[in-house]
Structure 1
Amino acid sequence: MVDHAIQLCSVSRRYGSGDSAVTALDQVSLCFPVGTFTAVMGPSGSGKSSLLQCAAGLDRPTSGSVTLGGVELTKLTETRLTLLRRERIGFVFQTFNLLPALTAEQNVALPLRLAGRRPSRAGVREALRQVGLGDRARHRPHEMSGGQQQRVALARALITRPAVLFADEPTGALDSCTSREVLGLLRGMVDRDGQTIVMVTHDPVAASHADRVVFLVDGRVNGELVAASADNIAARMTELEAVPC
């Protein structure tokens, strides 16, 4: 039996009510196996961000269920859901969201402090070393490049050893060379450490680093590609964007 890190069963998310209601997700069922890298793509307004937010417990579905490691998120209280996110889910965003007054090691240690845990300095330094920043522990964000700041954000997301790492356009603010470095890090985390990663992206090159690419259109799953090249992914996106409304 395949071990799934995240399962979505008939998940719908609607915003508003009556005639003005908008359906962002429409009966989406997906599984994300442990130790795999999945990219989520689709045209603008297809529901990518809503999917990530519901899967990560940042937003509650209107209907359906989301299960993380056997725990159904939709049944948790807000307090329990917050604790679960802190302990079992990591987040990386396009904007690095580092605190400018803190050093790299202080930014990395922050999730542990917020969870009431005493961070190990050796553990924090090891997390930075794993993303290639062992010599930047005492530098503040303004003293680092965008790529280095995103690496700090990655180390911060991984310091709690999350079951799933969610990445929302993690290379959107980076140049192509730095993007490849960050994507190589993500790929290595899957291959070397068995990390589960779900990444929303609009970039076929970024998506080609994933094991599979899931496509959304109008809030519904519209197929997937496995071990696809950037050219094949781009061609599929062109087809989806050409479909008339």
Structure 2
Amino acid sequence: MNDDAIRLRSVSRRYGAGDSAVTALDDVSLAFPRGTFTAVMGPSGSGKSTLLQCAAGLDRPTSGSVALGGTELTGLSERRLTLLRRERVGFVFQAFNLLPSLTAEQNVALPLRLAGRRPPGGRVREVLAQVGLGDRARHRPAELSGGQQQRVALARALITRPEVLFGDEPTGALDSRTGREVLTLLRGMVDREGQTVVMVTHDPVAASYADRVLFLVDGRVETELTGADAGAIAARMTRLEAAPC
């Protein structure tokens, strides 16, 4: 089996045409090994979210290719791409995106229900217990704290046992203590269960939970750090933001 959960080869993403065209990603080649935690950082407009969206199959590159495991995404129809995302990819965003009228367990089961599948017996309670909310299954979002709501969103992303879990600023709406709890949870999933996590963040403390940190500038991978602490990550970001264009 290929040891890379995701591989990007010479991926570029341009928006618009002619003189007004904007290049969000510029010939990026990257691999995300299975069972690793990668953080993606960079100045505003550096291409972080575009990288995540192309890697996750939410957006199509203008050129180049993206593979999830052994599946090449670039040539898939919209229907097949939707099915692949539903079955093999998980998403957690800054906004929790929970349905307020549903309980925690109903929110977690929703991706399977929308796919016309009945959640396997005990699976919903299993993932809620995995994120520390086994006793909150029947609570609605309004009865949960922000951190608990993000844990429900995390359980919802994990219900299909995704090959890759993508996070776009997943702790951005949380206070520092609650954010650390969610990051510790993500770190534990990588270490104990071999989950692959790719997370966009602006926070050096959040990035320090990752195995490596990729720094994007103007749509290219400028550099990366491995096993760095928050101080070293912040210092690198400061230098990138201060560099002349």
- Normalising by structure 2, report the TM-score: 0.99
Q: CA deviation at 1:2?
A: 6.6
Distance in 2 separating the partners of 1:199 and 1:32: 11
Match for residue 179 of structure 2? 179
Code of the aligned partner of 2:69: G
For the residue of structure 2 that corresponds to 1:97, the secondary structure is coil
Superposed CA offset, 1:44-102 (max 9, x none): 00000000000000000000000001111001000000000000000000000001110
Code of the aligned partner of 1:204: P
Superposed CA offset, 1:92-113 (max 9, x none): 0000000111000000000111
Task: Map 1:173-212 onto structure 2 (within 5 A).
Answer: 173-212=173-212
Q: Percent identity?
A: 82
1:29 counterpart = 2:45: no
Match for residue 122 of structure 1? 122
Code of the aligned partner of 1:83: L
Code of the aligned partner of 2:135: D
Q: CA deviation at 1:117?
A: 1.1
Superposed CA offset, 1:177-228 (max 9, x none): 0000000000000001000000000000000000000010000000100000
Task: Map 1:112-151 onto structure 2 (within 5 A).
Answer: 112-151=112-151
Q: How many residues align?
A: 245
Distance in 2 separating the partners of 1:244 and 1:97: 38
Runs (4+) of structure 1 exceeding 3 A deviation are none
Match for residue 67 of structure 1? 67
Task: Map 1:161-172 onto structure 2 (within 5 A).
Answer: 161-172=161-172
Distance in 2 separating the partners of 1:137 and 1:49: 32
Distance in 2 separating the partners of 1:195 and 1:113: 23
Q: CA deviation at 1:120?
A: 2.8
1:89 counterpart = 2:77: no
For the residue of structure 1 that corresponds to 2:74, the secondary structure is helix
For the residue of structure 1 that corresponds to 2:52, the secondary structure is helix
Distance in 1 separating the partners of 2:35 and 2:182: 18
Match for residue 216 of structure 1? 216
Match for residue 242 of structure 1? 242
- Normalising by structure 1, report the TM-score: 0.99
Contact map agreement 2:2 2:69 (CA 8 A) in 1? no
Code of the aligned partner of 1:198: V
Q: CA deviation at 1:241?
A: 0.1
Distance in 2 separating the partners of 1:44 and 1:132: 34
Note the aligned Cα RMSD (angstroms).
Answer: 0.9
Distance in 2 separating the partners of 1:102 and 1:96: 13
Distance in 2 separating the partners of 1:147 and 1:121: 26
For the residue of structure 2 that corresponds to 1:13, the secondary structure is strand
Q: Structure 1: state its 5+ residue gaps.
A: none
Code of the aligned partner of 2:207: A
Q: Structure 2: state its 5+ residue gaps.
A: none
Superposed CA offset, 1:215-244 (max 9, x none): 100000001000000000000000000011
Distance in 2 separating the partners of 1:121 and 1:199: 30
For the residue of structure 2 that corresponds to 1:6, the secondary structure is strand
Q: CA deviation at 1:121?
A: 4.6
For the residue of structure 1 that corresponds to 2:102, the secondary structure is coil
Superposed CA offset, 1:163-190 (max 9, x none): 0000000000000000000000000000
Match for residue 99 of structure 1? 99
Name the stretch that deviates more: 1-10 or 184-193: 1-10
